Structures are given as C-alpha cells and as structure tokens.
Amino acid sequence: MHRTVELRLGLLAVIITLGLLLYAASVEEERMAREATAQQACAVEVGAGLYDQHCRTCHGADGQGVGQLGPALNERHFFTQRLQEVGWAGTLEEYVSATIALGRVVATRPLYAGDGVVVMPAWSQAFGGALRPDQIRALTAFVLNWRATALGEVTLLTLEIPRVRLDDPQIIAQGQEVFVTAGCGRCHTVAGLSDGAIGPDLSRVGALAATRKADTNADQYLRESILIPNAYFVQGFEEIARENMCGGILSEEQLDMLTAFLLSLH
C-alpha cells in the first residue's frame, strides 16, 4: 500500500519536472526567436545608415537604381532571376555580400559598363575598402529586406522625399562650401574661388554641362562627372582622368548641393 503511494508521488514529481522543463524550453525558444528578430531588425537599421552613406548615390535612396550608375536592388527580377542570370550557384545572401565585399571591376550588363572604370568599388577592408565584415552583413540584411516589397507581398506607402531646389541660393552657397571642403579646388579652377589645374576649368561648367553628352541633361551630367569622371572625357584630359577621381564618397545631399553650385557657374 505504502509503496504504491510512493510510486505515484514519484511519478507525479517526474511529470511535474518534465512539464516545467518543457515550459522553460518553450519560453527559451520564444525568447531566442524574439532575440533573433530583434537582432535582424538592428542589422537592417545599421545597414540602412551605411546604405544611405555609401550606396544610394548609385543604387537610389529606395534601391530603385540610378540611370547608368547602378542597377535596381528592390525589384522582383533581382530576387527571382538575377542569380540564374549570372550563373551564381550560392544563395542570394552570399551573392549580395560577395558583391559588396569585392565590388565589380567589370559590369555584367553593358548599360553599367562606364568607360572601362571599376563600376562598383570593393567595400571590404580585406580588399582595400572601408567596411568591416559586420557592416557588410548589416548592408546585406538591409538589401535583402527589400524582398517582401519586391515580390509584392507587402506594399508600402511611398513617402515623397523632398528634392532640393537646384536654383535655391542657399543650396548654391552650401554647394560652394562643399566644393571647398571636399578639395575640388585642388584640381579645378573656378574663377574667384580656386586655381587647381589638373582637371578642367569649371568656371562656366553650368553652361557647358548640357552640351557635353547627347541625351544627358546638365544636372545628370554634373552628377555623373562628380561620381565617375571617366564616364565622359573632356578633351585634353583623357590621360589624366584615368588616375583622378572627383567625388570620393559624398552624401546624396552634398551631391545635390554641389550640382546646384556647379549649375550656377555661367
């Protein structure tokens, strides 16, 4: 009689312990899942900041691509067909992080070929770039975060991002400041401001810009010249242009200001 009671009690203890353990495990699992989501969200957020700083000039603020500078990263094709197109055997995540780390010396599509310049610089510190492995992971998470909208699973309200007015005197004045602080004057003359002579005289570039390239307006031409000087060779500067970069890393805002300033030079 006694033994049965003892046995039952023992069994009960085992069941209770097991239940507690199962409960603890499920809580832990939930906690870990929550943590993973939080970590992912944090990486995406860090990636957004880095993207804004380093990538949006060529790929667009929303990953929509920018003319001949860089392809869209936020569209269905990129998420569904791109790997097949380039014959990449790994995952999209590996493709994105490898592209960011290594950059692209030669474009895979003629539209982005430029003029034999490196079309996308390498970002990994291992290849002379500016970013650490964790920053490349954050950028990769940020780019892949466009999947849901690209595949039409979620639609976002589009916010109008106010573009600056390129004829606003205040923006022009700020552009002049950027011109000075970014060291453009080392290579370029602007009458009354700088006397650099490695690159073309920019004193009247606002008037010349529209005439440089067929089907490229002045605004686009200036942006392109600042970002990839070799996209067009000014007569007499073909050789020197190969070794000289104009823009380095400018923010979209600085690029707007500089463009406004250069457009005002007549």
Give contact residues for ligand HEC (rule: CB under 6 A).
Answer: 51, 54-55, 57-59, 69-71, 73, 78, 82, 96, 99-100, 104, 107-109, 112, 119-120, 123, 139, 143, 179, 182-184, 186-188, 198-200, 202, 205, 208, 212, 222, 225-227, 229-230, 232-234, 237, 240-241, 244, 246-247, 258, 262
Report the residue count for the chain: 266
Smallest gap from Cβ 36 to ligand HEC, in A, equals 22
Nearer to ligand HEC, 12 or 250 (CB): 250
Residue type, 96: V
User: What is the rounded CA–CA span in Å between residue 262 and residue 251?
Assistant: 16
Question: What six digits make up the tokens of 156?
Answer: 């976002």
User: What is the rounded CA–CA span in Å between residue 113 and residue 116?
Assistant: 7
The residue to which tokens 């080392």 are assigned: 186
User: What is the rounded CA–CA span in Å between residue 264 and residue 179?
Assistant: 13
Smallest gap from Cβ 40 to ligand HEC, in A, equals 17
Nearer to ligand HEC, 21 or 262 (CB): 262
User: What is the rounded CA–CA span in Å between residue 118 and residue 18?
Assistant: 61
Nearer to ligand HEC, 171 or 208 (CB): 208
Smallest gap from Cβ 245 to ligand HEC, in A, equals 7
Nearer to ligand HEC, 38 or 207 (CB): 207
For residue 147, count CB atoms less than 10 angstroms from its CB and return exposed for 0-12, middle for 13-18, buried for 19 or more: middle
Smallest gap from Cβ 193 to ligand HEC, in A, equals 12
User: What is the rounded CA–CA span in Å between residue 247 and residue 243?
Assistant: 13
Smallest gap from Cβ 150 to ligand HEC, in A, equals 12
Nearer to ligand HEC, 41 or 207 (CB): 207
Nearer to ligand HEC, 160 or 243 (CB): 243
Residues in contact with 49: Cβ distance below 8 Å, sequence separation at least 6, in sequence order: none
Smallest gap from Cβ 138 to ligand HEC, in A, equals 10
Give CA angle at 206 (202, 210), nearest 5°. Answer: 115
